[in-house]
Amino acid sequence: MSGNTVTLHRVMRATPERLYRAFLDADALTKWMPPHGFTGKVHSMDVRVGGGYKMSFINFNTGKSHSFGGTYLELKPDELIRYNDQFDDPNLPGQMQVTIRLKPVICGTELSIEQTGVPAAIPVEFCYAGWQESLQLLALLTEPEIPDQV
């Protein structure tokens, strides 16, 4: 794999089950994954090893979008998600691989993300900034304890 690597580590005040679901539920993904200034759309999602997904981020200011998708390579409920990922744009060639690890800790979940093979045309700092914004939104989605009656 060519390109850059991004690694992130967070402790989230949410259960591994809730975080795992947030990565694999189309409605959840559109709520938290697009970085600030973008909306998201999931075009397809088949959550199983060998299944895949297709998604777009849309720049709210310009309306321009970029699509990407991949295949699920490994799924261990509430522990591990590994998938490949690539952009539809031929100017962003190559295939990335994303590994998400979830480990229960006393106050929630230790979340580790590694994204390898980021196209050289994308500055790694942009990836870090985007992931950090997305993880803030992930926390807002998964950390609240809302009673079943609501």
In this predicted structure, the answer to whether residue 119 has a pLDDT above a threshold of 80 is yes
Burial of 125 (0-12, 13-18, 19+ CB in 10 A): exposed
Question: Cα separation of 129 and 119, whole Å?
Answer: 16
Question: Cα separation of 28 and 32, whole Å?
Answer: 6
Question: Cα separation of 127 and 115, whole Å?
Answer: 9
Helix (H, G, I), strand (E, B) or coil at 100: strand
pLDDT tens digits, 47-103: 999 999 999 999 999 999 999 999 999 999 999 999 999 999 988 888 999 999 999
pLDDT tens digits, 1-55: 446 999 999 999 999 999 999 999 999 999 999 999 999 999 999 999 999 999 9
Helix (H, G, I), strand (E, B) or coil at 4: strand
**Cβ neighbours for 98, distance < 8 A, ≥ 6 positions apart:** 70, 81, 82, 83, 84, 85, 113, 114, 115
Sorted by where each starts, the structural domains of the chain and their CATH numbers stand as 4-36+77-142 (3.30.530.20)
